[in-house]
């Protein structure tokens, strides 16, 4: 099953050959199995270990993914992050991965559907409590 993760800040999705085919990666030749070639070394990716690099919108083999994540700076400017997050969430949605990416409190975070609902619920609860407190203070002053 495809899964999303951060590697040195870079958003990556690990997928297998069936999932890569679903996202239109590789070269499908009628009558033959799909072939996914690493965008960096041009070798065939192992069918169980294909890595999607969201910032490049490209798939790589495991060695090249690690090489890229360990050696490339992760770009944190708004345009780069917007591009990376949009591609990560787009491919993630196609593959039903558990985690999605977003910027929360100026940090690039991965969250599950359940976590974001809890986060929103917590913040609504905090807003509610702080409005209650200010209301009570106001009442006391009156």
Range in contact with Zn ion (rule: CB under 5 A) among 2-10, 54-62, 80-88, 119-127: 54-62
Q: Measured from the CB of residue 33, what is the shortest distance to Zn ion in angstroms?
A: 19
Name which position in 7, 21, 34, 40 contacts Zn ion (CB under 5 A).
40
Contact in structure between 3 and 16 (CB atoms under 8 Å) = no
Asked whether the beta carbons of 61 and 41 are under 8 A apart, the reply is: yes
101 binds Zn ion (CB under 5 A): no
Q: Does 41 bind Zn ion (CB under 5 A)?
A: yes
Residue 38 near Zn ion by CB under 5 A: yes
DSSP state of 73: P
- Tell me the CA distances in angstroms from 20 to 83, 138, 141, one per residue in order: 20, 59, 64
The residue ranges that bind Zn ion (CB under 5 A) are 38, 40-41, 61, 64
């Amino acid at each position: 099953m495809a899964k999303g993760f951060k590697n040195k800040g870079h958003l990556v999705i690990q997928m297998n050959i069936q999932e890569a085919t679903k996202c239109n990666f590789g070269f499908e030749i009628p009558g033959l199995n799909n072939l996914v070639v690493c965008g960096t070394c041009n070798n065939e990716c192992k069918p169980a270990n294909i890595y999607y690099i969201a910032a490049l919108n490209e798939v790589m083999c495991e060695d090249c993914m690690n090489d890229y994540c360990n050696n490339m700076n992760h770009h944190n400017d708004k345009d780069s992050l917007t591009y990376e997050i949009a591609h990560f969430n787009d491919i993630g949605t196609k593959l039903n991965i558990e985690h999605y990416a977003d910027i929360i409190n100026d940090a690039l975070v991965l969250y599950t559907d359940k976590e974001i609902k809890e986060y929103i619920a917590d913040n609504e609860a905090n807003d509610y409590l702080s409005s209650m407190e200010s209301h009570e203070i106001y009442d006391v002053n009156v």
